Amino acid sequence: MARRQGWRGTLEKVMIATDFSERSDRALRRATLLAKQFRASLVIVHAVDDDQPAQVVESEREIATDLLREMRASLRSVDSLDCEARVVLGDAFEALREAVEAEAPDLLVIGPHRRRLLRDIFIGTTAERTIRSVACPVLMVNAVPAGPYRHVLQTTDLSDGSRVALQRFARLGIGQAAQNAILHIFDVPELSLAIGHTLSDEWRQNHLETARKRASSQLAHFLAGARLGEVETILRHELTAAPHEIRKQAADDKADLIVLATHGRSGLAGLLIGSVTEQVLRVSEIDVLAIPPEQPA
């Protein structure tokens, strides 16, 4: 894909959530790179759990304030970047959600998912709960940043929500200096049925090729309507679950960013089952950008 030079996009404010861990350090580095690249403002937020004795809360707040002051000084000295920093009180998820509502950033940057087995399955991580509830795109930084993104793998299920999300990603400009590819995973239910295993290889191959041509036509129609410009297209048959196919394609392409649309969820089903986006977030070793539906004006 042709690359545009000097195109800033609409990324004007970046928020980074930190818990002062090594995981958060890589998120801060990516947020810093993006802020410098787009000349965007940067806001660093740390949440202190206020469901503790008042003396403990105050002690943790003071420590966090000192650490944030040091971070600001370091960014000013090393990266010539001024930023804001604040401590918010409350449950990590609720405090972060409220901070996003108050600041209205164009992008929220968080560290990689912390795997906690059954707790994640039944409750959902702070990251996943945040992604489901905030209005801005959320970037989970899984890899150690080494510069601007070079190869972006966008994904689509050809839905209106996906179209809006990819248009929103294009406006941000994060992928404008990178090679971009759009992946569509198509399913052939007939081949998954028990009867499909009794049919000849020739029939199966012909049926798969017909489905691929249909998916190619649908993807071309989708891109024409979305007006995303020149972009490489990739079709992949859903041999395994969609999140696994996305990871395989990202590895094949040596992508350093996966872009997915997400949809607001509520209720037990969303927490137990999880969306494709949430499953990719849980297992990806590269950065993942989750883009929610745009809120009505």
**8, part of any domain:** no
How does residue 4 score in pLDDT terms, banded at 50, 70 and 90? very low
Write out pLDDT tens, residues 74-113: 999 999 999 999 999 998 889 999 999 999 999 999 998 6
Residue 5 lies in a domain: no
What value does the mean pLDDT take over residues 119-145? Answer: 77
Q: What is the pLDDT of residue 183?
A: 96
Does position 266 have pLDDT exceeding 50, yes or no?
no
Q: Would residue 199 count as lying in a domain?
A: yes
| In a domain? residue 3 | no
Q: Specify the 3-state DSSP secondary structure of 208.
A: helix
Q: In this model, does residue 1 exceed pLDDT 60? A: no
What per-residue confidence (pLDDT) applies to 197?
A: 60
Long-range contacts of 93-96 (CB under 8 A, 24+ apart): 93/126, 93/129, 93/130, 93/133, 95/47, 95/48, 96/17, 96/45, 96/47, 96/126, 96/130
Q: What is the pLDDT of residue 125?
A: 67
116 pLDDT higher than 70 = no
Quick check: is 175 in a domain? yes
Q: Are 92 and 130 in contact (CB under 8 A)?
A: no
| Each residue's pLDDT tens digit, 174-188 | 988 899 999 999 988
Task: Tell me the pLDDT tens digit for each residue of 150-171.
Answer: 999 999 999 898 999 999 999 9
Asked if residue 254 has pLDDT above 60, the reply is: yes
What percent of the chain stands above pLDDT 90?
A: 59
CA nearest to 186, candidates 219, 143, 161, 230: 219
Whether residue 159 lies inside any domain: the answer is: yes
Predicted local confidence at residue 191, as pLDDT: 67
CATH code of the domain covering residue 185:
3.40.50.12370
Burial of 75 (0-12, 13-18, 19+ CB in 10 A): buried
Collapse the DSSP code of 293 into the 3-class scheme (helix H, G, I; strand E, B; otherwise coil) and give the result: coil
Instruction: Evaluate whether residue 162 is within a structural domain.
Output: yes
- For the stretch 166-225, pLDDT in tens is 999 999 999 888 999 999 999 887 766 645 566 677 877 888 899 999 999 999 999 999
- pLDDT for 148: 93
Q: Give the CA-trace dihedral at 100, 104, 106, 111, to 10 degrees.
A: -10
What's the confidence (pLDDT) of residue 59?
Answer: 96
> How many domains are there within the chain?
1
| Domain of residue 40, residue span | 13-291
- What DSSP string describes 41-107? EEEEEEEE--SS-HHHHHHHHHHHHHHHHHHHHHHHHHH----EEEEEES-HHHHHHHHHHHH--SE
Average pLDDT of the chain? 84
pLDDT for 295:
62
180 inside domain: yes
pLDDT digits (tens, 9 = 90+) for 18-58: 999 888 999 999 999 999 999 999 999 999 999 999 999 99
Q: Sorting pLDDT into bands at 50, 70 and 90, what band is 9? A: low
